[in-house]
Amino acid sequence: MRVLVTGGCGFIGLNLVDYLSRVSDLEIRVLDRSDERRKYLNPEAEFIKGDIRDGPTVRKALSGCDFVVNLAAETGVIPSIQDPLRDAEVNVLGTLNLLYESRNTVEKFIHASSAAPLGEHTPPLHEGLLPRPLSPYGAGKLAGEGYCYAFNASYGLKTICLRFSNVYGPHSLHKMSAVHLFIRKALKGEPVTVYGDGKQSRDMVYVQDICQAIHKSIMGDSTGLYHVGTGKQTSLLELLGLIGELTGKKIEIDYKPERKGEIKVNYCSIDKAGSELDYSPKYSLRKGLEETIKWYEEMKGC
């Protein structure tokens, strides 16, 4: 059995390829448009350079594949506000192209989404809430989910959409999310910028738990939509306190006005993923941060 991991040289992709190589007998093929991080890719994986928007390249990458894990994406709320057309080209049209080329040959399609489609809701977030995206990024991810449902109904392609919470962990040199920025700044002794009062919260999930959920999605029989996180919320100030403790650094905070389009309180219910995917997070925030900080230290802070 072979799985195609799109965006396999990205943050989650590199971790997923290592995870699948360790816990499964799946043959792994990676499609990624960049060579920049290929040097970190597990040598057991086959690599194809290309873009999910390109039909011939996608058809080549899909040849002989039983499963697809679509991690290829334009990421981030702020970049999507700055360039919504670019965001839609990749996250909507790219996903649609990948689904179209998968419809008659692939057994199951796993799509990486996020909580961004939901917008502001009273937490915990769950699968039954009405989507109200606050950013083009959230709208694009919602469109991807919609196309997954449509291809399931129209073509019989088994699809699973996983709404990842705020993921952190190794191989995150290019990530601009809070955990990774805070760790890099702390290790360098630089001030950390916090937009707003720092009381905004996120569901911080370690990347190995995300890999667990993806693996169980591949091997199980379930289809549909699932939130994947820890079910717990952590404020940015709490996060900074723990990073300061684990790095032994005193972190200076530079407060700036809050930014439009960003959700203030965000954590999810993982009850459905637990009951239908047998998903259960294994890493506490402390343990996950310890592993992440250790990796950054080995990479000289970067």
Q: Where are the alpha helices (DSSP H) in the chain?
A: 11-23, 55-62, 77-82, 84-88, 95-102, 136-155, 178-188, 207-219, 236-247, 271-277, 285-298
Strand partners, 202: 234
Query: Among this protein's residues, is 137 annotated catalytic?
Result: yes
Tokens of residue 35, six digits:
């060579």
Tell me the C-alpha to C-alpha distance, in Å, between residue 278 and each of 67, 117, 140, 272: 19, 24, 28, 9
Strand partners, 195: 256
Find the helix packing angle between 55-62 and 95-102, rounded to 10°.
50
Q: Please tell me the distance from the alpha carbon of residue 229 to that of residue 221, in angstroms, as a whole number.
A: 21
Q: Please tell me the distance from the alpha carbon of residue 183 to that of residue 135, in angstroms, as a whole number.
A: 26
Tokens of residue 254, six digits:
């530079």
Q: Are 151 and 103 in contact (CB under 8 A)?
A: yes
Q: Please tell me the distance from the alpha carbon of residue 131 to that of residue 124, in angstroms, as a whole number.
A: 14
Query: What is the identity of the amino acid at 59?
Result: R
Q: Which listed residue (19, 137, 279, 296) is catalytic? A: 137
Q: Are 246 and 295 in contact (CB under 8 A)?
A: no
Indicate the SS3 state at residue 174.
coil
Q: Please tell me the distance from the alpha carbon of residue 117 to that of residue 114, in angstroms, as a whole number.
A: 7
| CA dihedral over 9, 15, 16, 19, signed as positive or negative | positive
Residues annotated as catalytic (active site), given as ranges:
137
